[in-house]
Amino acid sequence: MSKNYVVGFPRIGEKRELKKVLELFWAGKTTFTEVEKVSSALKEKHWKYQKDAGIDFISSNDFSLYDNVLDTAVMLGAVPKRFNGLKSEELYFAMARGNKDAVAMEMTKWFNTNYHYIVPELSLEDTYRLNALKLLNEYKEAKALGITTKINLIGPITFLGLSKRVDRGDTYELFGKILPLYEALLSEIKNLDESITVQIDEPIFVKGVEPKVLSLIKPCYDALCAVSDNINIIVTTYFEHSNEATKVLVHTPIWGVGLDFLHGSKNVESLAIINSSGKKLIAGVVDGRNIWKNDISQTVTLLDELENSMKKENIIVSSSCSLLHTPFTLKYEEKMDSEIKTWLSYAVEKLNEISLVSKVFFGDTLFEQDTESLLENKNANELRRNSTIIHNKEVQKRIENFSKLERDGKYEERIKIQKELLGYEDLATTTIGSFPQTPEVRRARSEYKKGAISKENYESEMKTYIDECISFQEECGLEILVHGEPERNDMVEYFGEQLDGYGFSQNGWVQSYGSRCVKPPFIYGDISRPKPMTVEWMTYAQSKTDKIMKGMLTGPVTILNWSFVRDDMPRGDVSKQIAIALSDEIEDLQKAGIRMIQVDEAAFKEGYPLREENITTYEKWAVRDFKISVSTAYKETQIHTHMCYSEFNDIIQTIEAMDADVISIETARSGNELLKIFKEVGYKQEVGPGVYDIHSPRIPTVEEMVKQMKLLLEVLPKEQLWINPDCGLKTRKWNEVKPSLTNMVKAVKEVRATLK
């Protein structure tokens, strides 16, 4: 009997082999044959890992050279016209990355993860045609190695839900065009083997789908199940509960449903109907979104609870989602604290957990090695529960007694004092914080980290950079200066490295998009700040100019959202600890003479819950913690924040409640359209909408920025507007940044002259 299951496996390779070969190929330094060779070797390795761990349901078609939504678009022949004439890998990578004639397709976040998928472009007039070769071949490839896989597919409803219409209108209108292709696909799949399992991912169902979408489920799965008797279809969702959809799915002839019981604990409400439908339950109980070692006995208890409402023989033990969202293996973590390491589990280790959980739950014979692993698991979890490096009494006491929840003074009072003291003009000019990260800066940082250069040496290199950065800003006439952030490799890691309770991995890479991986730091314990984190750099920078030097911090919610977070405490409680640490930093910055401080909340919006019903709770603690972090700011100190997006319509009230004196945002690409909501709700605080797009190497002209500023002035008065680029400049080159900012300042001067 098949008892356990893995939704999907990461593909980039435990040494990022796929990344490396892809990048060589894109640079013209290797052939596509080599890419295919590396890919095959990776697939084989990943299948074997799963087989060796005793996994029954192993996936094929979870591999991808770039992204599996893109693979689905290609499989369905949904290729935008601008790529006409291209074929095979040339077409595929052009869609993903663009080429000299055609821009790449848009990319966006996969639900609330940090994985990005390519957004398919659909239109009513296009004709679609099935090409199932990749999928069929992958099945055969595994079969040839003696592994019978289940086939992973992105479901038609999710595919439509994630696509966009280039001819305007609703993507679901194309349901009638897409469904027959899926039927045709299953007709090909049915010939692969005597009996085949197909996992159809429909994560869109967790978003609380509208009636219109719900109404597609039954016709869709009735039709797909009718294709052939030898195919078992499992519909899988993750990241939240999908109770509305499950209610419909149980009335279709599918074989099983896959549900996430960790991030969607409400899924238990569906157990009774699944049970009476006689379908299999693929129970997601081992976390695919985190790096913590599973607590086997706790997980078995959870399964026992499920068993109260489900026949045991219909339960299959699974990961909560694809393991794509976790790093590969702990094998290469050589530098990590050995105690902390025993608390962790990456994808390969999670395989063993799934297998062990299923053995214990089903009462299988345990071998000596299993008993040892169980004991080890129990001990590690016990140590973690009691470890003094996790549980810091002082931090906990401080949290308990913490009462300063917001800063003194109402906005109206503060801004009056600030304007007088700081004396900046209307349409004040500034930047978002970082300046170009040159190869020299990167080299100095990494050599210092390796111990190859001394602290003095490193600091003097950074100071030289800061000096140059300041001279340039003064020369070009910017009014509010920044130090340029040369000492920061990453806006979250930089703070994580200085906070107690934070850990770092050597090889904890997780795919973000295409060949790009990120290595999020992880919060394992109570957070505290042993000493100031930015004060020395800021004091140095301020000493080099008479102008205002803006301090630069990353906000609590962003620090949280871009880290792996401990799972033994609610996220909001962790974020509060970070906020308190930041409030101490602000206090110290002020004491050192810094009068303006920006607290970046780049990831505030992406932390939003998938389901409407959870939004209020998130907003409550997210706003609370932003306010706590700036609660130490004097009335005189101007607090800025920056957010990396432009659509504020749904969250404007929340943004207002954060009560920053100035917010800079990313509306450069949308004229003044997206700014209008600020006016509509009577937003009082100051706003820097971003007058040019830093995501492109293009240098904006004075004229176009003048035009942009005039558009902004149609919406908000000059007293309320700031002028700045739309994000940090670290990814740009000096020869782009210098003329761009010079033009920006010129443009402001022109506009100001017309306002006198």
CA dist., res. 658 & res. 411, Å (int): 11
Could you tell me the smallest distance in angstroms from the CB atom of residue 666 to ligand GLN? 9
CA dist., res. 395 & res. 339, Å (int): 21
Nearest to 5 by CA among 53, 71, 64, 63: 53
Could you tell me the smallest distance in angstroms from the CB atom of residue 552 to ligand GLN? 5
Based on the residue annotation, tell me whether 483 is a catalytic residue of this protein: no
Could you tell me the smallest distance in angstroms from the CB atom of residue 664 to Zn ion? 8
Q: Applying CB under 6 A, does 483 fall inside the site for ligand GLN?
A: no
Q: Applying CB under 6 A, does 642 fall inside the site for ligand GLN?
A: yes
Q: Residues 549 to 568: which contact ligand GLN by CB under 6 A?
A: 552
Of the residues 236, 434, 631, 646, which one makes contact with ligand GLN according to CB under 6 A: 434
Q: Applying CB under 6 A, does 644 fall inside the site for ligand GLN?
A: yes
433 binds, among Zn ion, ligand GLN, none (CB under 5 to 8 A by kind): ligand GLN
Residue 233 or 723: which CB sits closer to ligand GLN? 723
Local structure of residue 710 (DSSP, 8 states): H
Residue 478 or 663: which CB sits closer to Zn ion? 663
Extract the tokens encoding 571: 């996220």
Give the type of residue at 80. Answer: P
Of the residues 602, 675, 747, 751, which one makes contact with ligand GLN according to CB under 6 A: 602
730 binds, among ligand GLN, Zn ion, none (CB under 5 to 8 A by kind): ligand GLN
Phi and psi angles of residue 712, each rounded to the nearest 5 degrees, phi first: -65, -40
Total binding residues toward ligand GLN, as defined by CB under 6 A: 13
SS (H, E, C) 475-496: HHCCCEECCECCCCCCCCHHHH
Interface map 270-289 toward ligand GLN (x if CB under 6 A): --------------------
Q: Which positions touch Zn ion (CB under 5 A)?
A: 644, 727
Buried b (16+ CB within 10 A) or exposed e, 389-414: ebebeebeeeeeeeeeeebebebeeb
Q: Applying CB under 6 A, does 526 fall inside the site for ligand GLN?
A: no
- Which region, judged by CB under 6 A, interacts with ligand GLN, from 133-141, 374-382, 722-730, 745-753? 722-730
Q: What is the dihedral of CA 472, 476, 480, 485, to 10 degrees?
A: -30
CA dist., res. 286 & res. 6, Å (int): 10
Q: Applying CB under 6 A, does 433 fall inside the site for ligand GLN?
A: yes
Instruction: Identify whether the C-beta of residue 240 lies closer than 8 Å to the C-beta of residue 263.
Output: yes
CA-only gyration radius of the chain, Å = 27
| Residue appearing with tokens 């997780």 | 510
Residue 22 or 559: which CB sits closer to ligand GLN? 559
Extract the tokens encoding 375: 């004991």
Residue 281 neighbours by CB under 8 Å, 6+ apart: 256, 257, 259, 271, 274, 275, 306, 310, 314, 315, 316
325 binds, among ligand GLN, Zn ion, none (CB under 5 to 8 A by kind): none
600 binds, among ligand GLN, Zn ion, none (CB under 5 to 8 A by kind): ligand GLN
CA dist., res. 696 & res. 698, Å (int): 5
Of the residues 75, 142, 491, 751, which one makes contact with ligand GLN according to CB under 6 A: 491
CA dist., res. 521 & res. 501, Å (int): 11
Could you tell me the smallest distance in angstroms from the CB atom of residue 431 to ligand GLN? 7
CA dist., res. 614 & res. 611, Å (int): 6
Residue 441 or 644: which CB sits closer to Zn ion? 644
Residue 729 or 751: which CB sits closer to ligand GLN? 729
Could you tell me the smallest distance in angstroms from the CB atom of residue 711 to Zn ion? 20
Q: Which residue's beta carbon is nearest to the bound ligand GLN?
A: 728
Residue 77 falls in which region: left (phi positive, over 0), alpha (psi -120 to 50) or beta? left
Could you tell me the smallest distance in angstroms from the CB atom of residue 600 to Zn ion? 7
Nearest to 486 by CA among 552, 429, 421: 552
262 binds, among ligand GLN, Zn ion, none (CB under 5 to 8 A by kind): none
- Of 263, 391, 640, 695, the active-site residue reads 695
Q: Applying CB under 6 A, does 153 fall inside the site for ligand GLN?
A: no
Could you tell me the smallest distance in angstroms from the CB atom of residue 558 to ligand GLN? 8
Could you tell me the smallest distance in angstroms from the CB atom of residue 561 to ligand GLN? 12
Please identify every residue annotated as catalytic.
695
Q: Which residues bind ligand GLN (CB under 6 A)?
A: 432-434, 485, 491, 552, 600, 602, 642, 644, 727-728, 730
